[in-house]
Every structure is written in C-alpha cells, then in structure tokens.
Amino acid sequence: MPEEITSSVEAIEVEAEKVLADARTRANEILLQAREEAKKTLAAQLDMDEVKAFSEKFVSRAQTEAGKKIEDAEKQADEISATADKKVKEITKLVTDIVIGGS
C-alpha cells in the first residue's frame, strides 16, 4: 500500500513537471515566433522607428502571453500537488483505520 501511495504521488509529480515543461516549451515557441516576425519586419526595410515600435509591441505581447501560460501551468501543477497531498492524507487515514481496526 505505501508503494502504491508513493507511486501515485510520483506519477502526479511527473505530470506536474510535464505541464510546466510544456508551458515553458510553448513560451519559448512564442518568443521564437516573435523574434522571427521582428526579423521579417526588419527585412522589409520599413521606417526604423515604426519597426522598433512594432517589434517591441510584438515581443511584449509574446512575453505577456508566455508569462500567462507559465502562470497557468504553475497553478495547474499546484492544484495537482494539492490533490496529491489530499489523496495521500485520505489513504493514510484509511490505512491507519484499517491497522487500528477503525471504521
């Protein structure tokens, strides 16, 4: 039974780490896309002030979106962790009740 609890908690931790990794990957993709768009804009030889303003706006928006995705992933990981803690407590109580002979 303790092995099952440990295994469940480890599985939940792995899932939380995966969610965070996915969010970071997506954030990096967004930033890469922003950089590529900025390069395309620069290659078009537009007014430098206009290009700079556009690039800054695009990168800022991409960073904001990436930050939100990471924040959401961290919240999801926290929720998974909280659920795991609750399940461990429930299982521990169940095992304790069984060992003690409670209900």
Backbone angles phi, psi at 27, to 5 degrees: -60, -45
pLDDT for 64: 92
Q: What length does the chain have?
A: 103
Q: Encode pLDDT of 8-67 as tens digits.
A: 778 888 888 888 888 889 888 998 998 898 888 777 666 778 778 888 998 999 899 999
pLDDT for 92: 85
7-33 burial, b at 16+ Cβ within 10 Å, e below that, comes to eebeebeeebeebeeebeeebeebeee
Reported pTM: 0.46
Q: In which band, very low, low, confident or very high, does the pLDDT at 103 lie, cut at 50, 70 and 90?
A: low
